[in-house]
Chain A
């Protein structure tokens, strides 16, 4: 049983460009969350998708957007990249069913984004 898978693992982009990161949740999971982890910091919540809709959003600008597909996989898009967007982007999946019951959240290995 595959866990959470993310692609690509590493990428380099130029300021002003756009990037799309992809995530496949653990089998049986219906909820996908995205986190940004800057160097030396803890992960910060970007947003969460459930039933193909953005259910909760952290303190990130509209340049950050996402999507969830019917198979529960998800994409994170970042437009107009800034140097400060360089970070590890983590995808997390869980079985939520519309409530927080403390089910374990599983993280992928992340996508390392470097903006130059």
Chain B
């Protein structure tokens, strides 16, 4: 079964500094990869997804992620963060061999933006 590990439960970073949120998954075979963001008291919003093709994926709000098959990683990056990026970020996988699109989520990384 697929699994996702988010290595940091919390990441503090100063405003306008770069940030990387780390994510590893259990297998590089047959996966779609996602990053979702959850703002306080809200549902989940898709930031970006990797299905196939270019390993560098660009998403909304200036975020990007790189699929690394050999390291089974899908780290999320942003070159300059803003206060409005304060949220919980979830890495997730889906197995494209399945008929269903069930998503397996990591436990999340809380991004704290320091003024």
**Which residues of chain B in 16-52 are interfacial with respect to chain A, using CB atoms and an 8 Å cutoff?**
32, 36, 42-46, 49, 51
Residue total for A at the interface (Cβ-Cβ under 8 A): 32
- Tell me whether B105 and A100 are in contact (CB under 8 A): no
- Tell me whether A45 and B101 are in contact (CB under 8 A): no
Shortest A76–chain B CB gap in Å is 15
Asked whether A110 and B32 contact (CB < 8 A) given A31-B101, A45-B103, the answer is: no
Residue total for B at the interface (Cβ-Cβ under 8 A): 27
Taking CB atoms, residues of chain B closer than 8 Å to A102 are: 32, 49, 51, 94, 96, 101
- Tell me whether B108 and A42 are in contact (CB under 8 A): yes
Pick the interface stretch among A48-56, A65-73, A79-87. A48-56
Taking CB atoms, residues of chain A closer than 8 Å to B45 are: 107
Shortest A83–chain B CB gap in Å is 21
Q: How far is the CA of A19 from the CA of B104 in the complex (A)?
A: 25
Of all chain B residues, which has the CB nearest A110?
Answer: B43
A-B contacts counted at CB < 8 A amount to 78
Asked whether A90 and B100 contact (CB < 8 A) given A43-B105, A102-B51, the answer is: no
Asked whether A45 and B104 contact (CB < 8 A) given A55-B99, A99-B99, A102-B96, the answer is: yes
Of all chain A residues, which has the CB nearest B90?
Answer: A42
**Which residues of chain A in 74-116 are interfacial with respect to chain B, using CB atoms and an 8 Å cutoff?**
90, 92, 94, 96, 98-110
B107 near A: Cβ within 8 Å? Answer: yes
Of all chain B residues, which has the CB nearest A44?
Answer: B105
Shortest A81–chain B CB gap in Å is 22
A-B contact pairs, 17 of them (CB 8 A): A4-B43, A31-B100, A33-B100, A33-B103, A40-B107, A58-B102, A96-B100, A98-B99, A100-B99, A101-B96, A102-B32, A104-B46, A104-B49, A105-B101, A108-B43, A109-B42, A109-B43
Instruction: Name A residues whose Cβ lies closer than 8 Å to a Cβ of B.
Output: 4, 31, 33, 35, 40-45, 48, 50, 55-56, 58, 90, 92, 94, 96, 98-110
Closest 10 CB pairs of A and B: A42-B105, A107-B44, A102-B51, A109-B43, A107-B43, A56-B100, A100-B101, A102-B32, A42-B107, A43-B105
